[in-house]
Chains A and B, each alone.
Chain A
Amino acid sequence: MRTLKFLLQKEFRQIFRNTMILRMIIAMPIMQLLIMPLAADFEIKNINISVVDHDHSSYSRKLIEKIVVSGYFKLNDYSNSFNQSFQEFQKDNSDLVLEIPQHFERDLMRENSGNLFIAVNAINGTKAAVGSTYLSHIISNFNTDIRLDWLPPQKSNVTPTIEIATRNWYNPFLNYPFFMVPGILVVLVTMVGAYMCALNIVKEKEIGTIEQINVTPIKKFHFILGKLIPFWVIGIIVFTIGLFGVARLVYGIVPVGSLLLMYAFLSVYLIALLGVGLIISTYSETQQQAMSLAFFAMMIFILMSGLFTSIDSMPEWAKWIARCNPVTYFIEVMRMVVLKASGFEDIKKHFLVMSGMAVIFNVWAILNYKKTSS
């Protein structure tokens, strides 16, 4: 215990003497939480559309007007030739081309049918799919409108339609930050924890001070605890700043679930995650190696965590990776507790898995930390 006291005293002194780290602890959660949720927004707006109008009729104009006022589309260009619009398409200036054929209005009046042609730039699959869906929706609305115009309002003529009423639970206004911010908060804690912890130990290797530690009778787990505890505390501070500072004040996210439960899970999560940082440090000799390794690990952790994409739509093998990823569990827990007020019973499984990971990672790190080289 006495050894640990001296180790902790030393670590905290070094950390608080390093103004760069202090600034990172304060500035990073604020900056990232302010910027990232705005950019990582999957609501599709500003779809650029090119319209080729061969008809120039009042109907074609009405349709174009309806598209533009919907708010989702920006009219990129309006031309008479498909080739001209297609060039815009190729230059990536427009995402969609809508071609209105000649005699669109006439055919519609006389033959009761009209043809429209939509070309979609599918490089960005999400944008393409959402864009064409929106556009189809607008066109079908337009269709209903003209049908109502033509048909005399007779009761007998009303076509049977099914009305669908949708109600959004947990995030009633489909507020995107409500979904993203808890997740990004997790990423933040992850980055701060794993990176700082790994780099700190490897720095001692680089400078050579670790050799001086290794010739002392310090026990391995004392040394590891001495490194773990300070970054555990920092992780909790960063999380708190993010949760109460940015999430609440800027995005108005007030967790509906239990704070105690959230912090309890955070505590276990940080132990597991710092274990990962420790493992990285035992495998690297230089800070450069540690950075590369940590970056590699972070990329997988973040992309396979269900932060941006739904895990349910991953192939089976990828789901397994996601299940071995500590970040996945914390993001799930955060979303459940913050938005759904889930209780301990709901996240019991998460607690169990995370505790298991914490034990595995740290035992691995302690076993792999060698005071004596062979």
Chain B
Amino acid sequence: MTTEVVIKTDKLTKRYGDFIAANEITFEVYSGEIFGFLGANGAGKTTAMKMLCGLSTPSSGDAMIAGFDIYSQTENIKKNIGYMSQKFSLYEDLTVVENINFFGGIYGMSDQNLKLKKDKLIETLGMQKEAKKLVGSLPLGWKQKLAFSVAVLHEPKIVFLDEPTGGVDPVTRRQFWDLIYAASDSGITIFVTTHYMDEAEYCNRITMMVDGFIKALDTPTNLKHQFSATTMDEVFFELARGANRKAD
């Protein structure tokens, strides 16, 4: 693994009035890493991620994403990242192929490249039969896998995944992580938030957010060691116990 830094934040903060959703978070993510972003509901994960994607302007602090400044170069950032939100974000009234074409197209992929990638994607997901079906008619697990594949279609440097496996069955979750590994192998940095502690174990490094602060940042093995726990669940409980914010 190279040590090139692709995400670097310095005291990144987001305030909504008196409420501080993300409080001076500082961390670095290295190229090609699978970086897990953990925390209870309302801990500030989504807020932090939206700032990094350029969807939300920070209140204070600095960050560089893929070498671009988070305030002044958001459009450059957007060319270099992929994003998959909590809400399913493909068009349900378009077919699988139409969705792929649309998102590939607006990222400026050439027709040739797009066709190549599209065929490969459909083959990898085994969706040959579903290619001409409306996305709305697919089961959730398939939709999520498709959404991820579309998010990395334009080969971004970093892909942000906001609870990508929420509501998905264990088998599909496993397949989903295979896709993440494949993307990671091809050099894409993965930034993923999750509630599932078994998924946390799949990450290279993880951070734990509690009440808007970063409470821990290390590899899963080191964290378990540090809290003398056998599973990530125990680490999570140990850290989240001090939380004041009620889950929403």
User: Which residues of A come within 8 Å of B, CB atoms?
Assistant: 2-3, 5-7, 9-10, 13-14, 17-18, 207-209, 211-218, 371-374
Contact = CB atoms under 8 A, between A and B. Distances in A.
Contact of A372 (B56, B83, B91, B107): B56
A246 B28 CA distance: 66
Given A2-B108, A10-B102, A215 B91 contact: no
Top-9 shortest CB links A-B: A6-B105, A208-B87, A212-B89, A215-B83, A217-B78, A217-B79, A10-B102, A374-B57, A373-B56
B48 interface: no
Nearest to B56: A373
Contacts of B78: 215-217
Contacts of A6: 101-102, 105-106
B107 A217 contact: yes
Contact of A211 (B79, B87, B92, B107): B87
B85 interface: yes
Given A14-B93, A18-B93, A208-B85, A372 B106 contact: no
B103 interface: yes
Contacts of B82: 215
Contacts of B106: 3, 6-7, 213, 216-218
B218 interface: no
17 contacts: A6-B101, A6-B106, A9-B102, A10-B94, A208-B88, A209-B89, A209-B90, A212-B85, A215-B53, A215-B55, A215-B81, A216-B106, A217-B78, A217-B79, A217-B108, A218-B106, A374-B56
B141 interface: no
**By DSSP majority rule, is chain A's interface helix, strand, loop, or mixed?**
helix
A10 B91 contact: yes
Interface in B1-59: 53-57
Nearest to A206: B87
Interface in B58-85: 74-75, 78-79, 81-83, 85
A208 B56 CA distance: 15
Q: Which of A9, A209, A216 is packed against the most chain B CB atoms within 10 Å? A: A216
B98 interface: yes
Contacts of A2: 105, 108
A224 to B, nearest CB: 14
